Structure 1
Amino acid sequence: MQRAAVRAAVASARRAPGFLLKNRPPQNISATRALTTSTLGSSGSGTGSNSYVRKFTLAIVSSLVLGSAYIASKGSNPFLAKVSLLSNPSDKDAFAAGAKEDVRIRKIVAVDHESLYTGTITGDGPLTKEDGRGGRKVLEMLTPDEASTKLRQNQESYLVGRDRGVYRYDVVQLPSNDPIEDDHAERIIEVPSVDGTVDDAKASTDWMFWGVFDGHSGWYTSAKLRQLLIGFVARELNATYKASSTSLENKLPSPESIDAAIKNGFLRLDNEIIHESVEKATKAPSRAAAAELLAPAFSGSCALLAFYDSKTNLLRVACTGDSRAVLGRLQDNGKWAATALSTDQTGSNKEEAKRIRSEHPGEEYAVSNGRVLGGLEPTRAFGDSIYKWSLETQNMIKSKFFGRTPSQRLKTPPYVTAEPVVTTTRIQPEKGDFLVLATDGLWEMLSNEEVVGLVGKWLEDQKKVKGGAAGESWLRSIFGWGGDDKKSLPVATNHDGNQDDAGQRVPIRQRQWGISSPEDRFVIKDQNCATHLVRNALGGKDSDMLCALLTLQSPYSRRYRDDLTVEVIFFGEGDKSGNVVVNEEATAKSKQQQE
């Protein structure tokens, strides 16, 4: 239902801005119908209005009863008998009435089976429900300040004083699943010079790694990647570099051999997850022990790993799955160019679909409806054993331990691989290069150009705030560009392989929410650049939209947003202390205490 129609028909409630809604009540709501009708008899201005008010309120109240939203249940639950909806928080008459009754007026969020609503309620009744584990499930809509607190709860920022091409990186995570199925990892490894010493700073080099891992069907595989993937890749790289240094030519490995080392690291870890775990499970002393060994095989995870060699200034991005890496680079015209350094590997990717079909000729359902065997969207992933184990192995696991009946479409596994596609880019710190790594939850909501433009705006704002005569921006003093105060983002349109013939694809969530992409919908409020991106992905200046999306609890939040993990790496020279320190102003206090 369009917003105008809702406002015309329902004077007592409104939907969250930008959401595409269908205003119809959930099924099986007879238990609440009498209560709702009797308590709202005087709510409308006429018969027609009353019917619409009743319909909307039924959606809210029944969703509370059915569990699609959360509410306290204490005693006779007086709250349900007092539900009243107001047309708008600015309605003076309604607020005056509330003032006379000496009650609070609060914003709420509610969802039925297909729709999300915002409204207002009166009263001081409890709006939370204990979850049995000492936590709360919240119905009352977060305030803007509370929304900011939630956004920043898991943010981290580090200043890299290595003087080796990277001066800062920011990270943030925002869960939608409970617990979050995403994970991430970062590591800097100082590599000795050829003669085995690290005393000579010019002779040694830094290998810097950043990874984001988008889990699915559980968090077990992504957690395994956080623990082990960088180590597996670093060992393969070390062996490759050593082999080259001891050869007669005594030179650096070829680009092809470096790419092969990264791929080997990915494949060796996936082999441990998929095949070695089965061998260990058959020898496990109990089913509980077997379950722990097999959990990363039953779930799955995409992986996006960036590897930067400070000696060569080469950045390699290895992508398994549909997380995405995008490079931002400042152009001579003062705008930033966005270049994708990875390609989304899903069944909708024509090249990926062609690859799988060529590996499984004659299998009609090898890729069906954009998914592997009609089920899994990523065509490359760690874990996901049901697409990799043989039929015999799956039947053995099911009979001896646990599991499910293999798909009837399973004929010639494996259908899914963990082998990444590796791209190489020479970083130009003098161009202000930065890298954004993010799980697909971000790219569902923002385009490549929007992300790069938002980082560019954030950089300019940060430097204006922090220094420069008369507010001179850092970009002007370093690059000879001061940006502008226009509403549009300082980004150039860049056809980089993630666009169709008509131009930049509109992210799917923008379509779902009905966003028309106005140029002034963005805002700058955060010291952490990754948090800044997530804020703008979830609504930006539209605080109602942001607060509503952050108020929704798992599992219902998953209808509107995915888990989010975002990293932003800034290339350039930092201080020469040799240390990596927490950037406290952009790091949550809880994260600072963990360091």
Structure 2
Amino acid sequence: MHRAAVRAFRTSHHSSVRNPVRSARRSHLHLFTSNARQHHHSSANEPLRSSMYVRRLPAALASGLILGYGAWYYNGADILSGSQAVTRAFTSTQGAADAVPTRTVLVVGADELTQGTIVGEGPLYKSATEDGRRIVEMLTPEQATAKLRRQEESFWVNRGQGVTRYDLVQLGSNDPIEDDHAEKIVEVPNRAATEEEEVSSSDWMFWGVFDGHSGWTTSATLRESLISYVARELNSTYKAASNNAPPPEAIDSAIKTGFTRLDNEIVHKSVEKVFKASSKAMAAELLQPALSGSCALLTFYDSRSELLRVACTGDSRAVLGRRAKSGKWIATALSEDQTGNNPTEVARMRMQHPGEEHVIRNGRVLGGLEPTRAFGDAVYKWSRDVAGRLRENFFGRSPSPLLKTPPYVTAEPVVTTTKIEPENGDFVVLATDGLWEMLTNEEVVGLVGQWIETQKSGKSSSQFDRAWSKVFGSQNKPLPVEQGRSASGFDGKTPIRLQQWGIDPDARDRFVVRDKNAATHLVRNALGGTNDEQVCALLTLPSPFSRRYRDDLTVQVIFFGHADKTSEKTGDVTINLDATTDQDPRARL
């Protein structure tokens, strides 16, 4: 019997893992709207205290593991743990012979993650062993890149209205992904000053990312409806202002009203329909978006005023990148993470619920929910009477004993306004909190700036460049971003994953440019950048194990500029095929 040596990858984690949800639906928004997919963010009940250190395997290791020829099958024997080398027994179906190919595997256990190499070409069992461990064949760098790019999209916005392009990508950790997103452009006629003047038009442009939790249904509802609810309120507000622009506070109020009206439909109108119908089947259908939850980050850009409004409910984040006189970029947060660790949100909650000691406990609402603002999450919004009637007649959980004066969670967003400078090449990154657990605001803006410079020069990090740097050292420059210039105030999500993985945040040459899609570029560097081994390992992990080490990711990058309108048609949004991965791009049109 031969044995395949398996190297320790690194150990120890204590975070809880939620069960994956079972199904997801897909739909496509057409005419100025890209397709949207599903979403989730799972907050563990306790802060992450895991550690995972991804080491580069020396080339000598693989060459020293050539043990014989044959098909090798895992039989679940001889398991060691901790920091020791982990050995697995394999049975050969043929005799020893010359050197054969090796394969890299991950061994996933309840409290450890190890990496190793097996020898042979036969099938590899992936079922769990008696102690709950799984062996999963590692993705190759090419397979990892394909997975990264599977849901990337890019669009040219050739409308001459201040936006030139936007890129987006999604990467699931939950199965199905509980993140979602939506984009829409609405052409708005403008009244001419006189009858002789030509009637012009402007654009209202919307981008949104929705970070769900406890299921995908709330975020899917936001993808279908939130932009429409907000646009309807904005339309009424602008009409009421006649020929004048509405005051800023009226526009903010319209956005907030759109958010809260949709949440009222999700949380309260659904219950009214269930009580009226008295049908368990209808209850199961209507109450799903209420019982799960979702954060929401929605941007509204008015091309006429060049004002960008960012409405944030929860802890997704928007960050502006703007070129400084030095040639570097400045990162400015356009939203503030709304969690139980935000002093402003804690003060608001305690003021609204005086005398309730545990309204925020361990950084969470009533000790349970991390975001203090969210759609759905009806157990924090229904009265005890409503929750009791639903549980008695249909289904549901018993309300928390701490529930005294609901609602504790609101969908009302905080709205900020920023003057965009298209002539300066501004860009905005929107992302669910999974990205901000891995990268700082400055790193994200610097990475996009690095990507822009690379695209302009027509160069990217080739395999030759990577090999050259191993011999002579990397020539990578620091990220072109001003340090310490981000907006002041609470920054609720720090890159906690780097500590979990055991990565030095100040390590040189962490970042790389290999992707034509700016959003994919950000995700690759969030997962490990130049460290191909780490990127492959994180993308190999199956759900639900992957949730211990990374969250669902949805990232959008919007590029502003004064590109000319390319045609008179009403469909001046075209697919950028160079940065879009799709088996059949015609399906979008």
Which residue is equivalent to 2:20?
none
Letter in 1 for 2:77: T
Change (3 A) 1:485 1:466: closer
Structure 1 residue 101, shift from structure 2 partner? 5.0
Equivalent residue number for residue 417 of structure 2 = 424
Matched, 1:549 2:538: yes
The whole-number CA distance in structure 1 between the counterparts of 2:555 and 2:492 is: 21
Deviations 1:205-233 (A, max 9, x none): 10000000000000000000000000000
Change (3 A) 1:428 1:400: same
**Aligned twin of 1:516:** 504
Deviations 1:504-525 (A, max 9, x none): 9851101111111213110100
After superposition, give the CA deviation of every residue in 1:574-595 in whole Å (9 maximum; x if it has no partner): 2412510000011112362431
1:292-318 alpha-carbon deviations (Å, 9 max, x no partner): 111000000000000000000000000
Instruction: Tell me the equivalent position of 1:15.
Output: 9
Note the 1:364-513 alignment, pairs <5 A. Answer: 364-465=357-458, 486-497=476-487, 506-513=494-501
1:81 aligned to 2:87? no
Write the mapping of 1:90-105 to structure 2, written as runs, cut at 5 A. Answer: 100-101=97-98, 103-105=100-102
Equivalent pair of 1:337/1:494 in contact (CA under 8 Å):
no
Q: Distance in 2 between matches of 1:13 and 1:499?
A: 44
Once residues 540 and 196 of structure 2 are traced to their aligned partners in structure 1, the CA distance between those partners, rounded to angstroms, is: 52
Q: Percent of counterpart pairs with the same letter?
A: 59
8 Å CA contact 1:303, 1:319 repeated in 2: yes
Residue deviations 1:267-316, cap 9 Å, x none? 00000000000011123363222211110000000000000000000000
Instruction: Tell me the CA shift for residue 242 of structure 1.
Output: 0.1
Question: Pairwise mapping of residues 181-330 of structure 1 onto structure 2 (< 5 A)?
Answer: 181-194=178-191, 203-245=200-242, 250-284=243-277, 286-330=279-323
Q: Is the 8 A contact 2:267 2:290 kept in 1?
A: yes
Query: What is the CA-CA distance between 1:109 and the residue it aligns to?
Result: 1.0
SS of the aligned residue for 1:185 comes to strand
Larger radius of gyration: 1
The 1:52–1:418 alpha-carbon spacing in structure 2 relative to 1, beyond 3 Å, is closer
Alignment partner of 1:36 is 2:29:
no
Structure with more of its chain in helix, by fraction: 1
**Amino acid paired to 1:110:** V
Q: 1:559 aligns with which of 548, 551, 568?
A: 548
Instruction: Work out the CA distance in 1 between the residues paired with 2:214 and 2:534.
Output: 28
Task: Give CA deviations for 1:158-181 in whole Å, capped at 9, x if unaligned.
Answer: 000100000000010000000000
Please give the residue correspondences for 1:115-194 in structure 2 after superposition, counting only pairs within 5 Å: 115-127=112-124, 139-194=136-191
Distance in 2, matches of 1:196 and 1:149, equals 53
- Identify if the C-alpha distance between structure 1 residues 199 and 234 changes in structure 2 by more than 3 Å, giving closer, same or farther: farther
Q: Is the 8 A contact 1:338 1:448 kept in 2?
A: yes
Q: Pick closer, same or farther for the CA change 1:193–1:104 going to 2, 3 Å.
A: same
- Contact 2:330 2:486 survives alignment (8 Å): no
Query: Structure 1 486/150 Cα, relative in aligned 2: closer, same or farther at 3 Å?
Result: closer
Output the amino acid matched with 2:97.
K
Q: Distance in 2 between matches of 1:590 and 1:196?
A: 48
Tell me the alpha carbon deviations over residues 179-217 of structure 1, each in whole angstroms, 9 at most, x when there is no partner.
Answer: 000000000000111269999887211000000000000
Are the equivalent residues in 1 in contact too, given 2:8–2:83 (CA < 8 A)?
Answer: no
**Runs of 4+ residues deviating >4 angstroms:** 16-19, 51-56, 128-131, 195-202, 497-500, 503-506
Q: Which residue of 2 aligns with 1:70?
A: none
TM-score, normalisation: structure 2: 0.80
SS at match of 1:425: strand
Q: State the distance in 1 between where 2:554 and 2:222 align.
A: 14
- 1:412–1:352 distance in 2 versus 1, CA, 3 Å: same
Q: Structure 1's 200 and 162: CA in aligned 2 closer, same or farther, altered over 3 A? A: farther
* CA deviation after TM superposition for structure 1 residue 17, in Å: 12
Q: How far apart are the structure 1 equivalents of 2:587 and 2:193?
A: 33
Contact 2:152/2:168, CA 8 A, preserved across alignment:
yes
> Which one of the candidate residues 508, 520, 524 is aligned to 1:531?
520
Letter in 2 for 1:529: A
Q: Secondary structure at the match of 2:184?
A: strand
In structure 2, relative to structure 1, the CA distance for the partners of 1:34 and 1:285 (3 Å cut) is closer
Distance in structure 2 (CA, Å) of the matches to 1:188 and 1:297:
28
Letter in 2 for 1:280: K
The separation in 1 between residues aligned to 2:83 and 2:502, in whole angstroms, is: 26
Change (3 A) 1:393 1:17: closer
Spell out, residue by residue over 1:455-487, the C-alpha distance to the aligned partner (whole angstroms, 9 max, x if none): 0000010111189xxxxxxxxxxxxxxxx9652
Q: Cα distance 1:591–1:437, how it changes in 2: closer, same or farther (>3 A)? A: farther
Residue deviations 1:534-562 (CA, integer Å, cap 9, x gap): 00000000000000000001100000000
Q: Does 1:570 align with 2:559?
A: yes
Alpha carbons of 1:505 and 1:390: their partners in 2 closer, same or farther (altered >3 Å)?
A: closer
Aligned residue identity for 1:382: F
Structure-2 separation of matches of 1:197 and 1:400: 63
CA distance in 2, matches of 1:129, 1:498: 48
Aligned 8 A contact 1:22 1:114 in 2? no
Q: What do the CA deviations read for 1:321-353 (whole angstroms, capped 9, x no partner)?
A: 000000000001011000000000000000001
Indicate which of 51, 57, 69 corresponds to 2:86: 57
Q: Distance in 2 between matches of 1:303 and 1:554?
A: 24
Q: TM-score, normalised by structure 1?
A: 0.79
The answer to whether the 8 A contact 1:539-1:545 is kept is: yes
Q: Does 1:589 align with 2:586?
A: no
Q: Distance in 2 between matches of 1:560 and 1:199?
A: 63
Write the distance in 1 (CA, Å) between the matches of 2:194 and 2:312. 33
Residue aligning to 2:39 = none
Q: How much does 1:128 deviate? A: 5.8
Aligned-residue Cα RMSD (Å) equals: 3.3
Q: Secondary structure at the match of 1:530?
A: helix
Q: Structure 2, unaligned stretches of length 5 or more?
A: 13-49, 55-73, 129-133, 461-473
Which letter maps to 2:147? K
Q: 1:144 is aligned with what amino acid? A: P
Structure 1, unmatched stretches of 5+, are 1-9, 24-32, 41-50, 62-79, 84-97, 132-136, 468-483
The residue type equivalent to 1:36 in the other structure is: A
Within 2, Cα distance between the matches of 1:370 and 1:174? Answer: 27
Structure 2 CA distance for partners of 1:214 and 1:200, relative to 1, 3 Å:
farther
Distance in 2, matches of 1:114 and 1:198, equals 73
